[in-house]
Structures are given as C-alpha cells and as structure tokens.
Structure 1
Amino acid sequence: MALGRLHESASVYQQALQFAVSQGEPLPAGTVDLYRGLSELYCEWDDLDTAAHYLTTARELGKQAALTGWQHRLGVAEACRKEAQEDLEGALALLDEAEHLYVESPLPNVRPIAALKARIWVMQGRLTEALAWARERDLTVDGDLSYLREFEFMIFARSLIVQYQNTGTAETISEALSLLQRLLQAAEAGGRMGSVIEILVLQAYGHAARGNTTEALKSLERALTLAEPEGYIRVFVGEGSLMAELLERISGPGGRLKAYVHQLLAAFGRHKDARGPAIRPGSGQTPRTEPLVEPLSARELEVLKLLGTELSGPEIARELVVSLSTVRTHTQAIYTKLGVNNRRTAIRRAEELNLL
C-alpha cells in the first residue's frame, strides 16, 4: 500500500490465492492474510460489499484452522470498513479489541493500532487525547523521520491542522505544513507513492484550512494525478466536506482525470445519504440525469448485468471465463462512465438510464 501499487497488489494476492487453493486442504495459514489484504484494497476502492465478503471468508478460514495471531489484523481491516461507513465509534471499538488481541510479529508494524486510534480521535474532535498520544510517542515537528514512523508523523500533522482550526494559531499550521513537506520529500526519495498521495492530500487539507486555496489545489491536483491510475477513493473521501469543496473547485483537468474527479464527487454524494454526485448544499445544482457521454461497451454491459445479481467478483470472473483483474478493469470503467463508485449505486444509475 505504501508503494501505491494497488492493482499490482490485488493481482499478487489473487495469484497467491489461486496457488493456495490449488494445494488442496488444509489451506496454508497465510491464506487468511491474503483475504484480509484484499479486503483492505477493496475498502480503499470504496467497494465495501466486496471488502466485507473477503473479511468474512478470512474470519471463517481462521476459525476453521484454529489459527492464532490473525484476529487483531482482521479487527484492523474491519475497522477500516466501519470508518468508511462513518461508524467511528464502531471502528474505535474494533481497534480497542484488536489492541487487546495484538500478537507481536517479526515484521515491522508501520501502521500501529495506537496511531489508527489517534486518527479516529482527531476525526471525532478528541484532540486532547490525540495530542497526548503524540507526546507519549515523542512526536515533534522537527523529529527524525523514518519509514517505520511515517504514518505516526502523518497523524501528528493532521492533529496540528485540526488544532489550528480550533485555535487559529498561525505557528501551529506553519509547523504542520513544514512537517508535511519533510514527510513528502522523504516519501518521494523512498519511492513510496502511496505515502506521497496521502501526504499530498493532507497538504491540500492544511493549505485549505489556512485559507490558501491556490496551494491547496496544487497539492490536490498532483495527488489526483498519482492516485487516478490506481483508483484511490477513500484517501480523498475520508477527508470530508472540505475535500469535496476543493474537488469541486478543480478546474482544467480533462480526460481521465476529469472523469476521476466526477467519480470521487459521486462517492462523496453516496456517503452523504445519496444526495447525488458533485452536489453541494445550497449550490442550486441538481443531480445528473443526462445520457452517458461515453456509452458502455458490449462487454461492460455484460459485466453490468452480472453486477445486478448476487454473484461475487470471483464468481462473475468464472461466469465470463476471464480473470478477476479483467472483471475489476471493466467494473472500474463502468463506475467511471456512470459517475458512481459503488455496485449498488451503479445498478440504480443503470436502471435510471434503462441499461438493464
């Protein structure tokens, strides 16, 4: 995820799963984490139904094999889904449980559960607790940066931005933006494009909070350019209404990037009680009902019809005798053309356009 190669990661997970299944029963212990990894990818793509499917499969496998050490990782993945559903209390409860179940691993934990909890505290407005966590972790604006603590420093910068929004202290936002610039340079030097995207989004948020819309849009446009090929959704939508307002002010991008912005705005609309894509309260706009600018291909229509069934992604792939990555490519194209970002919404939009 830190490298930003979401599609490649999904392909590797799928190939590893195919190999694991081909070995017969019992499945290798690592199979649970393959399903968990896929759930996290689909959560970022905002396909929460598919994420839930993979999580359920992972949990069932873990129980059947009587494995240990997997419960806390699944708890973290489920918390991601709860957060995407805007159930912050539910996400926090799952992280508390995951923290209790945590089993030390030889692999470095670059997204500690405590940092994930602090991120939710910031979202809930519990800034005192978030800043106390930062002090406990000895996080400072001029601290030594390393990949292992990169995520923690990002949460700290987020805390400082929100603190500025609460107090208006100019020094606080300057420190936050300075820290983010250092983080950006380190992530770029390490080739961690996933981290670069997250940091750029935070930069945009910080500049916007400061009232510097020009700089905010510069950071946002670069983040969009990097994120579009991999289909990132949650990294933008999770930032809330301020990010939606910035996206609506993006001007100039054409082609795929323009379609991507529309897709993100549609996701914002879906997460705000389906009030419609790219609609801001009081804007005087109405939801789009015009025909598609680019029609669906015959193959995309086939996939769309199957999306309207109870079949899962892997089952659709088997039905069409294609790989899951091919189904995913068609699905992303369908979502983009329909201006949606969710299977259920795609079907509703298709019905409105008499495509089914």
Structure 2
Amino acid sequence: MVGPLLDTKTHVPGRQPGALVRPRLAGRLGASAWCEADGDPSAAISHALAGGDTGRAADLMELAMPAMQRDRREPELGRWVQSLPDEVVRERPVLGVAFVGALAQVSDFASIDERLSGIERCLRADDGSWLEQPPPGLVVVDEAAYRTVPAAVEMYRAALALRQGDLAGTIARARRALSLAPPDGDLVRAAAGALAGLASWTAGDLAGAHAAYTESIAGLESVGFVADALGCCIALGDLRITQGRLGDAVGAYEQALDLAVRTSPDEPLRGTADMHVGLAGVLLEQNDLAAAAEHLAVNEHLGAHNGLPQNPYRWRVVTARLREAGGDLDGALVLLDEADRVYEGDYSPNVRPVPAVRARLRLRRGELSAAADWARQQGLSAADELSYLREYEHVTLARLLLAMRDDAAVGLLERLLTAAEDGERGGTVIELLVLLALAHDSRADAVAAVAAVDRALAVAQPEGYVRVFVDEGPPMTALLRASLRQSAVPGYVRHLLAATAAVPVQHPSGRTALVDPLSQRELDVLRLLGTDLGGPEIARELSVSLNTMRTHTKSIYAKFGVTSRRAAVRRAQELDLLPGQRGS
C-alpha cells in the first residue's frame, strides 16, 4: 500500500531534540512517517520494515517498547524480536534490553544469556564498572531508558539465576539491580523486588514472598504496569491458598479486579480473566460450585486475549476440578490432558505440576497402575528428602501409597506434615491431616483417625474448607460422623456431612477405569480370589495349571497396583468387579 505524502513537521527518532525535517516521502517509508505522526507506532514500524529501513524501525521500536511491554502485547513483541538483524540490535543497548524483556515475558530464555553478555561487553569499563555514557558507535534513542540498563541487566540475570534454581544468586542479583536503579527507575525496582519474592517463594518462605510481592505490586501500579501487577496478584492468591488463608486469597483477586476496573473502566485489562479463574478455584474448595462455574464462564467470555500466558492451562485445571466435583471424571481427565499440552510456565515455581494433578485424578478413577507409572517416571519414593518445590508431588505419592495399602504412607505423611507446619503452609497441613486420618482408619486405629480429623477441622473451619473433606468419600464421611460426637465445631461438621450427602456417587466402570483392563480369564481368577479357595483349588476350578493361575494373579496385582490377594479383592470391590461384594 502506498501511503500519503507527508508535509507536516516530523521528529525523527535518533536525532537531537528539535531536529525537525519536512519529508516528502512516498511508499512504505512515507507511510511509516505518517503513521508515526498519527500516533500508531506499530504501523509505523511495519511500514519501515517493509521499506527496508531497519534503522528507522529499530528507533521506533526502542521508543515504543515500554508501552508495548506495559500492555503485555507478547505476540507483537515476539515478531519485533525476530524482525531485526542481530547486528542492528547489538549496537542499540536499550533496545537489546527491551528485547530481553520481551523474550522473558514469554519464557523464551534460550538466547537471553548471550544477549545480556553482549550488552555488558559494550557498556562495562575495563574495571567492570558501568559506563555512564554510551561509547561511540552505539545508538541510543531513549536516553532515560539508557540510565536503567545496568539495573535491568542485573534484574534479568537474577531471572536466569532463578530459572536455574540458584536462589542465593537470584537474591544477590536482585539486590544489585536495586542498588543500580536510578531515582526514576521504579519499574526495574519493582521487577527486582518481585524476583526476590519469587526466590523466597521457591525456598518455601511464603511470608517473605508475600511481603515482597505486595511491595512490588505497589511499584508496578505506580508506573502504570497494571497487567504485570495483576500477574503478581495471581501469585499472591496462590501463596494465600497454600497458607490456608482462602479469605485473603479472595481479597487479593478482588482487589486486583478493582485495580483493573479503576485503571480501565471501559476495556478489560490483560490479566483480568485470570482473576476469575483464581476466584473459581477458591469457591470450588468452599463447595460453591455454581459461583465457581460463573467465574469460569466470565473467563471464557473475556477471551484468551484478556488473560496472561498461563491462563489457558490454569482455567483448564480449575474447570477439571469442577467437572470432577460434579462426577464427570472422564471430562476432567480430558481437560487435564489439554492443560498439560498447553502448559506455559513463567518465573513462578511450578509447585503444582499438571501431571501430578492428573495422577490424583487417576487415583480417583481407580487407575492405580497409571498413577504408579507417574510416580516412577518422577523418581519419587517415600524415603526422599523433602522440599517445598516437590511437596505437592510427595503428597500425591502418599495418596498412591494409601490406595495401595502400603504402610510407608504413614511415615511419609508424618514427615510431610512436620515440614508443612514448620513452613506455615496451612492449606497443605489440612490435606495431610485428612490423609493421616484415612491412613489410621485403614489400620483400624479409630482414636488416632478421629484425632487427626479434629485437628484438620480446627484449621479448616475458619476458612470454610469443604472439598478437602468431602472428596475423600464414604471413609471420611464415617470419620466426620464419629468426630461429631466430640467436635469443638459441631455446626461445621454438620455442614460438611450435608455436603457429603450431595456428592454424586461415582462408580468407576471397572474395565474402563483401568489403563490396562483385565482379560476375561483374569476376571475369572479374580472372582475366585474373592472366595475361600486356595491357589491349587482355583487352578482346578478353572482347569488350568497352578503356574498359569499364578501368572494371571500376578497380572491382576500389577494392573491393580497391589501386592497381596487381600488387597486385590478389596480393590476389586471398590471397582465393583465382584458381583454381590461391592465395597462401601
């Protein structure tokens, strides 16, 4: 397309202020100048690139980058990064740092270290100090942004250290960035503070992470980076949920929505959709399924463009939980498979991996062999050294061991409980106490089981937890009834019992509930395992050799994820595979 001729005075980026020209340009470059004067930098850049003027395009990008990053326009920024030759970017340190930021926004870290090293080679003196003025040969259009380059480089170095699990290096680099930030460098200070908070979060210091994020949000809001502030609010909500403070999590999400509306009352801001997913997750735990569904519907109505890059997988995980709560285990599994495929990480620690969430659903569906495969692939064992980063996975492993009637479950649960209590992770403490209660119950230790339930109720009642209890099914219902007689919160227990009565009955369909279904001959063996017949008698009944019967039995054990005849029979009862012998 040929743009109009331009007769108006136009400032040319890269020239000294006041250097005005009266271009009469036709074609792409004329269109670029016209779009710049009209306040459309994206179109101006596109025309400059199409016209082959990469220098002009780079100038315009450098000036436009702050606003583009503020609005979280990742796809367009990514195209810009790919559009310029490396030699053009290398001579422009401000643009180079901006490109690093664009790559970091989409977690594309492959070239960041090399890009940062190139900037440092250009701008550091022989003694390692930063040059106050750009040396000859470099191009700087945004002089104010140049003053923040040293701090920005250290900030992105901190991000790389965090990605590599170097928490001490993350904190050291973040502090260096704070010391290098100029008086007007509020953005880089806020970002560096958030990285320090991320390091605290990764180490399990949730209180320190919360304090750092709270301060960072204020800084981001002050410079107009509201979408990034909303991203920090997601982290605040996640932290509060892990701490067991559901009310504070709701407050974080609602304050973020209020900030978004105040900032842009007529147009949803990027990140608004994510707040509704966060609220849905809390409401689900409190068993307000209808309200959770409404927030998830709002998220879908707002669309992917109003969500941050992690939104596609996060809403699938929460929607899967909603499906599971409604009894649709098949639909929940489909959504978790999709969530795993579209997962996109960010700087936040991946403390609740989608494969671990899916393994829990597999257990709920009676697919012990699939859950056991997951645990083997992750290299998990009950004797592992514990860490906050893998806590969710180890709790999932404990669930698997409980399902397999493995005595190692109790020891693992007790170690996890101690770690969670020491770290003040109240949400995890509640779940672990619930699982310990079930473990004691399976060992016929009623006193210990009810004591664990009572401890869980005391922590959970102020925040309105429901699903953590009712999702455990009939065994927990029985324990809640036993607890009611001595409970310090009888009204809460009655509320939970009422919720259990409304839970849809879920009977896995046996053959379809197992990843590797039983053969007809294995079903015949299984039926006789549920009788008083011994091995040789079962073999005679089926007219097979004793070795063949034993082979079938071993196969049944493997598919059920059990190690004894008694456990196999109990598992078969849970799956309704033994007619007339259904488990409760």
Cα distance between partner residues in 2 of 1:93 and 1:65? 24
Cα distance between partner residues in 1 of 2:277 and 2:469? 22
Q: Is the 8 A contact 2:281 2:318 kept in 1?
A: yes
Is 1:130 aligned to 2:344, yes or no? no
Match of 1:205 among 415, 422, 438: 438
Cα offset for 1:16?
Answer: 1.4
TM-score by length of 1: 0.72
Q: Cα RMSD between the aligned structures?
A: 1.4
Match of 1:252 among 478, 481, 486: 486
The answer for the alignment partner of 2:555 in structure 1 is none
Match of 1:235 among 440, 444, 468: 468
* 1:115-172 Cα shifts (integer Å, max 9, x gaps): 01100111111111111111111111110111111111011011011101xxxxxxx2
Cα distance between partner residues in 2 of 1:118 and 1:67? 26
* 1:56-91 Cα shifts (integer Å, max 9, x gaps): 111222345486442111100101111111211111
* 1:275-313 Cα shifts (integer Å, max 9, x gaps): xxxxxxxxxxxxxxxxxxxxxxxxxxxxxxxxxxxxxxx
Cα distance between partner residues in 1 of 2:493 and 2:428? 20
The answer for the alignment partner of 2:244 in structure 1 is 4
TM-score by length of 2: 0.44
The letter for the 2-side match of 1:177 is V
The answer for the alignment partner of 2:495 in structure 1 is 263
Please state whether the residue corresponding to 2:351 is helix, strand or coil: coil
Match of 2:332 among 74, 91, 104: 91
Cα distance between partner residues in 1 of 2:321 and 2:503? 15
Cα distance between partner residues in 2 of 1:65 and 1:160? 41
Cα distance between partner residues in 2 of 1:99 and 1:153? 19
Distance 1:17 1:66, change over 3 A: closer
* 1:224-254 Cα shifts (integer Å, max 9, x gaps): 0000000000000000010001101112124
Cα distance between partner residues in 1 of 2:345 and 2:251? 28
Cα offset for 1:266?
Answer: 0.2
The answer for the alignment partner of 1:39 in structure 2 is 280
The letter for the 1-side match of 2:252 is V
Report how many aligned residue pairs link the two structures: 263
- Bigger relative CO (Cα 8 Å, ≥ 6 apart): 1
Is 1:142 aligned to 2:383, yes or no? yes
Is 1:17 aligned to 2:257, yes or no? yes
Cα distance between partner residues in 2 of 1:66 and 1:111? 20
The letter for the 2-side match of 1:263 is H
Please state whether the residue corresponding to 1:191 is helix, strand or coil: coil
Cα offset for 1:18?
Answer: 1.1
The letter for the 2-side match of 1:268 is T
Cα distance between partner residues in 2 of 1:192 and 1:223? 13
Is 1:51 aligned to 2:292, yes or no? yes
Q: Is the 8 A contact 1:62 1:70 kept in 2?
A: no
The answer for the alignment partner of 1:305 in structure 2 is none
Q: Is the 8 A contact 1:92 1:117 kept in 2?
A: yes
Please state whether the residue corresponding to 1:107 is helix, strand or coil: coil
Distance 1:116 1:163, change over 3 A: same
Cα offset for 1:104?
Answer: 2.1
Distance 1:17 1:182, change over 3 A: same
The letter for the 2-side match of 1:183 is L
The answer for the alignment partner of 2:4 in structure 1 is none
The letter for the 2-side match of 1:141 is A
Cα distance between partner residues in 1 of 2:493 and 2:306? 43
Matches within 5 A, 1:1-356: 1-24=241-264, 25-63=266-304, 65=306, 68-164=309-405, 172-173=406-407, 175-250=408-483, 251-254=485-488, 257-272=489-504
Q: Is the 8 A contact 2:402 2:409 kept in 1?
A: yes
After TM superposition, the runs of 4+ consecutive aligned structure 1 residues lying more than 3 A away are 63-69
The letter for the 2-side match of 1:30 is G
The letter for the 1-side match of 2:249 is S
Cα distance between partner residues in 2 of 1:138 and 1:53? 39
Cα distance between partner residues in 2 of 1:105 and 1:19? 22
The letter for the 2-side match of 1:195 is T
Cα offset for 1:109?
Answer: 1.4
Distance 1:47 1:106, change over 3 A: same
Cα distance between partner residues in 2 of 1:206 and 1:71? 36
Cα distance between partner residues in 2 of 1:185 and 1:238? 23
Consecutive unaligned residues of structure 1, counting only runs of 5 or more, are 165-171, 274-356
* 1:302-351 Cα shifts (integer Å, max 9, x gaps): xxxxxxxxxxxxxxxxxxxxxxxxxxxxxxxxxxxxxxxxxxxxxxxxxx
Please state whether the residue corresponding to 1:232 is helix, strand or coil: coil
Cα distance between partner residues in 1 of 2:411 and 2:304? 47
Q: Is the 8 A contact 2:273 2:306 kept in 1?
A: no
The letter for the 2-side match of 1:59 is E
The letter for the 2-side match of 1:224 is L
The letter for the 2-side match of 1:10 is V
Greater radius of gyration (CA): 2
Distance 1:218 1:149, change over 3 A: same
Cα distance between partner residues in 1 of 2:446 and 2:308? 50
Distance 1:248 1:99, change over 3 A: same
The letter for the 2-side match of 1:270 is A
Cα offset for 1:179?
Answer: 0.2
Please state whether the residue corresponding to 2:383 is helix, strand or coil: coil
Cα distance between partner residues in 2 of 1:202 and 1:133? 20
